[in-house]
Structure 1
Amino acid sequence: MAADRAKAFRILRWVAAILLAPVILFALAAWIGSSIPRNGDWIEPDPSDGRTIPILIGHNGIHTEIVMPLVSPEMDWRPVFPARDIAAAFRPYTHVAVSWGERAFFLETPEWSDLDPITAIDAMTGGEGIVHVAHYVRPATSQDYRILHLRPSEYAALVRDIAMQLDPAETREILPGYDRYDVFYTARGRYHIGNTCNQWTGDRLAAAGIAIGQWTPMAGGVMKWVPHP
């Protein structure tokens, strides 16, 4: 009986090792990939030296978003993300937060307690991309929302690249958000384990010339490039 228990324990250990190995390898690859720089010579401009556009990079530990001024000389987001698309349309919004993810996962997981493992697995193996847009009033910096100052040319490149990720206006679907101040829009791209929501954030920042890791599938891989407040 003792020998049988020992054998069963050894089998369980091997099963656990087999199941954990891909997770460990993914985490290791993500750490290495996010540590290899793109635009490694970029230096954040000093606002006292000239005009800059402050943006925020926000995260909840798993997912990241880019928070931008609603209106600036480089971009007026109001025609692209009109307030009429959200329930609380008449608040004095000052910023929009944009992030990207897998359609089914986004729409079916308003809270992490709603997470369905099957939905998560399906997302990792490939799914349709969708953009989440939240409207904010004077968002404050914090540990979870860190400020970056961009040069006007860098910000212009950022907003241009984000706009290119959206479906054309004539075919774009508008889908209800989680609350009264947010909304989803159909977007370009396919979500999978190599192209996650955080990789999308990293790619947008890289397109603007900002220093970021080569592969940033996890939120931490993005946030380690953004200075603490």
Structure 2
Amino acid sequence: MKKSYKVLLHILLGLVAFVVLYLLAAFLIPKIGVPAEKVTDKTIDIYILTNGVHTDLVVPLRSAQLDWSKQVKFENTKGKDTTAKWIAFGWGDKVFYLSTPTWAQLRFSVAFKAAFALSTSAMHATFYKGLKENASCKRVKLSTEQYTRLVAYIQNSFQTNAAGNVIKINTNANYDDSDAFYEATRRYNLFYTCNTWANNALKACGQRACLWTPRDQPIFDKY
């Protein structure tokens, strides 16, 4: 009986130590910044957008590099509005995206599976007609070559079928009339969150970023 208690105590202490170390890492490591590349031909605007928890990357719907509407189609949204000029991309845990529209609806089982990579991921695409810079929406200017790298990063986050097309998730869990969900690569976990994905996207295209972060605020602190 005593051995059982000791084993249980060691497990509990180990869990507490893990949580403490993780929280320390999540607070301290994001303070280490990655500098932006030095380029002069910054001609393409993108935005980073947060809802207070989750970071999206917003890019031009159409550019010389790509017309996103040919891959991520208007018809996949409820509104089917074709007047958008921007498209936002977010990556995250699929079950979390589809079953937790508000934090009040978060279930322990969903959070647990997301934290420990026990479910699949999804890409969330939202069309916008325009954006306004504020504390939650920051403009970032890229060169053509940097934007090409960002496009490749986003495209590689989508799962595709045999024909090379993105795979729409059929669901009624859309957030509004201008968004849709798609199957994505990788799995969400404590060390690779939606904000880690966005932070890595900024690093991929040579912008200011955190060395690592699971949170959104450290990203915006850099801007």
Task: Please classify the TM superposition score into its range, dividing by the shorter chain length.
Answer: 0.7 to 0.9
Equivalent residue runs for 1:1-229 within 5 Å: 22-38=18-34, 40-43=35-38, 50=41, 52-126=43-117, 127-169=119-161, 170=163, 172-176=167-171, 177-225=174-222, 227=223
Kept in 2: contact 1:85–1:174 (CA 8 A): no
Structure 1 residue runs of 4 or more that deviate by more than 4 Å after TM superposition: 17-24
TM-score, scaled to structure 2 = 0.84
Kept in 2: contact 1:55–1:149 (CA 8 A): yes
Q: Which amino acid aligns with 1:201?
A: A
Measure how far apart 1:91 and its partner are: 4.4
Identity among equivalent positions (%) equals: 29
Q: Which amino acid aligns with 1:78?
A: S
TM-score, scaled to structure 1 = 0.82
1:189 aligned counterpart, secondary structure: coil
How many pairs are equivalent? 206
Kept in 1: contact 2:32–2:211 (CA 8 A): yes
| 1:59-103 deviation digits (Å, cap 9, x = unpaired) | 122110001110011221011111010011124101100010001
Q: Which amino acid aligns with 2:109?
A: I
Measure how far apart 1:174 and its partner are: 2.7
Larger Rg: 1
Measure how far apart 1:138 and its partner are: 1.0
Structure 2, gaps ≥5 residues long: 1-12
Q: Which amino acid aligns with 1:128?
A: T
Q: Which amino acid aligns with 1:206?
A: K
